[in-house]
Amino acid sequence: MRRHSIPEIALRGCALAIASALTACAQAPDAPVAMAVDPQATAPAPIDTARDVPVVDEAFVTALTADDNIDSPTAWTAPDGTTWVIATAKATDRLVIYDGATGETLRTFGTLGTGEGQFDRPNGIAVIDDLLFVVERDNHRVQVLRLPDFGHVATFAADDLVKPYGLWVRTLDTGYTLYVTDSYHDGEDAQGHDILPPLAQLDRRVHRYAMRFDGEGFAIETLGAFGDATPDGALRVVESIWGDAANDRLLIAEEDETYANELKVYDLEGRFAGRTIGRDVFGAQAEGIMLKTCAGGGGWWITTEQGKGRTVFHLFDRKTLAHVGAVTGRQVANTDGIWLHDVATTRFPDGVLYAVHDDQGVVALDWAQIAQAIGLPACGRGA
């Protein structure tokens, strides 16, 4: 979570007509964002999520360690059925590993540094197969480790990334494609707030990389970066991203609350689809994003409204993107990252949603209880 107070409209030379109308305002040539109309002025008010949201009891809450500044979780189930929840600890530059069934803290991994198995402000994290992908903001790189021993596999992207945060990893027959968000800025103002670059310079907000099988290792290829430069499609402050290959779709959270609380819709090639969702339901910052897939191609996007006192999870239809409901936990609040572990385990036969709680730990919400609370139809696991 980051807070910004960035003026996005720069006006100069505005002359007030004495008669009945205002004359047009000439825009400053170096304005950080070129916009003619404040989009919030006509945006519908968010629904009142302080009431009428079903509550689901957390299956567990891990130990709360404020010094760690926990940001994002992922999960991995070993061949023996044991599940680990692995979370990034930004302030202590390490990973914290919890038991995915009980929430017990099992161990930590990593130290501050630039070497293999070391981190500098780890943020986004994901598990695919037995590979663990970690985005490090202050090392501005992606590190790949192999589970269960956290052996080093690859490190890349330090020459491209400036201030990376989140990622989505797509599985292909040839290996993997990574999408990594990069929230670079134009320095800081006198109050220490990040200065947003002009729209035209937001064209590198998401970087793509191919990680192809190459013998016993991988060959890494840079596939370029993208970002829309229009007022509606621009990614002002970015972190969370997730994709749906079957529907050629990316959802990317807009985290600049001075602009809007919403999700931008892109395609997998990095083109803005001309659509945003969530502005009419999010009452706080948009954060973590996951996708629940069902047999037959259906499913739901699970998205996060990061309220200071309470987190609300909003679900949108996978295909239509229509809002289908919301749910909250009894305790969970101020959530950054989430991870849907859609694996049948003894503790969670229908899967489980892991969510960061108040920058200090992780909670578990049983998917079966989420579905029941919202009234979702039965859903077999799909692709």
Residue 33 has pLDDT above 70, yes or no: no
Average pLDDT, the chain: 89
User: What domains appear along the chain, each with residue ranges and CATH number?
Assistant: 11-374 (2.120.10.30)
- Tell me the pLDDT tens digit for each residue of 276-318: 999 999 999 999 999 999 999 999 999 999 999 999 999 999 9
Of 64, 63, 115, give the one whose Cα is nearest residue 93: 115
Report the relative pairing of strands 118-119 and 111-112 from DSSP bridges. Answer: parallel
Rounded Cα distance between 351 and 330, Å, is 19
Residue 23 has pLDDT above 70, yes or no: no
What are the residues facing 56 on neighbouring strands?
Answer: 329
Residue 45 has pLDDT above 60, yes or no: no
Q: What percent of the chain has pLDDT over 70?
A: 87
Rounded Cα distance between 221 and 148, Å, is 26
- Tell me the pLDDT tens digit for each residue of 333-359: 999 999 999 999 999 999 999 999 999
What band does 142 get if pLDDT is binned at 50, 70 and 90?
Answer: very high
Residue 329 has pLDDT above 50, yes or no: yes
Residue 378 has pLDDT above 80, yes or no: yes
Output the pLDDT for position 35.
31
Q: If you average pLDDT over residues 193-219, what whole number do you get?
A: 96
Output the pLDDT for position 382.
78
Number of C-beta neighbours around residue 39 at 10 A = 15
Q: If you average pLDDT over residues 175-193, what whole number do you get?
A: 94
- Tell me the pLDDT tens digit for each residue of 92-117: 999 999 999 999 999 999 999 999 99
Cα of 150 vs its chain's centroid, Å = 23
Q: If you average pLDDT over residues 313-336, what whole number do you get?
A: 98
Tell me the Ramachandran region of residue 149: left when phi exceeds 0, alpha when psi lies from -120 to 50, beta otherwise.
alpha
What band does 21 get if pLDDT is binned at 50, 70 and 90?
Answer: very low
What band does 52 get if pLDDT is binned at 50, 70 and 90?
Answer: confident
Residue 8 has pLDDT above 50, yes or no: no
- SS3 assignment for the chain: CCCCCCCCCCEECCCECCCCCECCCEECCCCCCCCCCCHHHCCCCCCCCCCCCCEECCCEECCCCHHHCEEEEEEEECCCCCEEEEEEECCCCEEEEEECCCCCEEEEECEECCCCCEECCEEEEEEECCEEEEEECCCCEEEEEECCCCEEEEEECCCCCCCEEEEEEEEECCEEEEEEEECCCCCECCCCCECCCCHHHCCCCEEEEEEEEECCEEEEEEEEEECCCCCCCCCCCEEEEEEEHHHCEEEEEECCCCCCCEEEEECCCCCEEEEEECCCCCCCEEEEEEEEEECCCCEEEEEEEECCCCEEEEEEECCCCCEEEEEEECCCCCCCCEEEECCCCCCCCCCEEEEEECCCEEEEEEHHHHHHHHCCCCCCECC
Residue 79 has pLDDT above 90, yes or no: yes
- SS3 assignment for 58-77: CCEECCCCHHHCEEEEEEEE
Output the pLDDT for position 113.
98
Output the pLDDT for position 1.
52
Of 117, 149, 148, give the one whose Cα is nearest residue 134: 117
Length of the chain: 383
Cα of 134 vs its chain's centroid, Å = 13
Rounded Cα distance between 3 and 276, Å, is 21
